[in-house]
Amino acid sequence: MPRPVFNGMKQRLLTGLQSSGALHIGNYFGVLKPFLDIYRDYESHLMVADYHALTSLRDPEALRANIYNVVRDYMAVGVDPNECVIFRQSDNQDHTELAWVFNCMVTVPFLELAHAYKDKVAKGLEANAGLFTYPMLQAADIALYDIDVVPVGEDQRQHLEYTREAVGKLNRAYNAELLKEPKEMILEGVGVVPGTDGEKMSKSRGNTIPLFGTTEEIERAVMSILTDSKGDRPEHVYAIHRLLKSEEELAPIYEANKGRYGDLKKQLVADLEAFIAPMREKRAQITDADVRDVLTAGVEKARTTSHETLSRVRTAIGINL
């Protein structure tokens, strides 16, 4: 497959994960796996979104541990730090500065329409100002690096629409092409990864299967998957199983165990263990010092780009003297 190019160079791509808790298989199949499949074809940026985590996490020790863990997770699944800029959001204050500029460009009614905000508040998450303005920090994350494409599932399309709106408002306000409007890369077959209750897998719902869990933790999570007593196939179990195997591979398994939900769950446990075990072993070898080295090198590369971008914006809006 030929590498995508833009003006004779590789296009830039960015994705990231919050450091708000242990990663689960929804994070892997929704974000990490799609990134793994394409990141070498782009000038890729992989961000630990620790400021974003503050919208819901109030445990400093947990946040610090999660930052290390997220980078370990990236490396354990196969991301090569030499072929990708891996950095931490909070190591680069350009993010919060550009987010403030964007906040001054958009309206309260515009932010109130955000699907993610409305959904999280409806589920009981505190409606704090950080959660409300989250899309503008996310827009800054993307715009700072002149990103061309952001890989997302269909359910995240609005994130990119909000980024383009913020960038467009800034460009029009100062009559200049200050920032690039990114495009979403809708990943085919990637969308909502089901949790153990059939809803979207989410740390906040507690319906996850841990990505690097022990055999016992994986088994406990799988055995808790809700099943419908009607029909021969437990659909929630099957939906998760399809992440690991094709319909053709699963057809004889589900036919042979028709109506035997416990046996099908045991098969899912075995397949998940076979999938997770090699990554779990690799992850155990990655030290805190390894993580610090990766983040230090990554943020230096990230700042080189973001400082240029922010300087351009500061000059245009009248901050630079």
| pLDDT value of residue 84 | 96
Give yes or no for residue 243 having a pLDDT over 50. yes
Give yes or no for residue 9 having a pLDDT over 90. no
Element of type H or E holding 64: helix 60-76
| pLDDT value of residue 123 | 82
The rounded distance, in Å, linking the Cα atoms of 271 and 129 is: 42
Reported as a single tens digit per residue, the pLDDT across 140-199 is 999 999 999 998 777 778 889 999 999 999 999 999 999 999 998 887 655 578 899 988
Cα first-last separation, the chain: 47
| pLDDT value of residue 302 | 97
Domains delineated in the chain: 5-192+287-317 (3.40.50.620), 212-283 (no CATH)
| pLDDT value of residue 188 | 65
Reported as a single tens digit per residue, the pLDDT across 69-108 is 989 988 999 999 999 999 999 999 999 999 999 999 999 9
What's the pLDDT band for 30 if we cut at 50, 70, 90? confident
Reported as a single tens digit per residue, the pLDDT across 38-62 is 999 999 999 999 999 998 889 999 9
The rounded distance, in Å, linking the Cα atoms of 46 and 18 is: 11
User: Among 145, 179, 138, which residue's Cα sits nearest to residue 159?
Assistant: 138
The rounded distance, in Å, linking the Cα atoms of 56 and 60 is: 12
What's the pLDDT band for 6 if we cut at 50, 70, 90? very low
Of 200, 245, 282, 301, the catalytic one is: 200
The rounded distance, in Å, linking the Cα atoms of 269 and 260 is: 15
Our answer to whether residue 203 is catalytic in this structure is yes
The rounded distance, in Å, linking the Cα atoms of 97 and 109 is: 22
Give yes or no for residue 4 having a pLDDT over 60. no
| pLDDT value of residue 7 | 46
Our answer to whether residue 180 is catalytic in this structure is no
| pLDDT value of residue 190 | 56
Mean pLDDT of 281-295: 97
Tracing tokens 């943020």 back to the chain, one arrives at 299
| pLDDT value of residue 3 | 39
Our answer to whether residue 169 is catalytic in this structure is no
- What average pLDDT is seen over the chain? 91
> Cβ neighbours of residue 228 under 8 Å, at least 6 residues apart?
234, 235, 236
